[in-house]
Amino acid sequence: MSRRNRKYAVPGAERGMQTFKAEVMRREGYDVDPNHPDDVKYEVAKELGVPLKPDGNGDLTTESVGHVGGKIGGSMVREMIRLAQQQMVDQEKK
């Protein structure tokens, strides 16, 4: 299985985003390997009943794989919004 070659708009952001993903998913109650935070998708998939495998998933529907990515991405977006709101509150206090 070939992985998508993701490119971040900000050079060097990949490491920070992987660390952020690990922190968010750990707070969500998942066991996250800090050296391989992207592997949390297998734990999420198992919880959702999606038979995600590291060596090929051509038999899975886009919908089922989207549930896995949506749970992870949704958690990350909620945390980003919370952090932005907190930053705005903190700026108003200054």
For the segment 25-79, what is each residue's pLDDT rounded down to a tens digit?
A: 999 999 998 888 889 999 999 999 999 998 888 899 999 999 999 999 999 999 9
Burial of 71 (0-12, 13-18, 19+ CB in 10 A): buried
pTM reported for the whole predicted model? 0.79
Rounded Cα distance, 92 and 90, in Å? 5
Rounded Cα distance, 90 and 52, in Å? 41
Which positions ≥6 away from 57 have C-beta within 8 Å? Answer: 1, 65
Question: Token pair for residue 55?
Answer: 């060596």
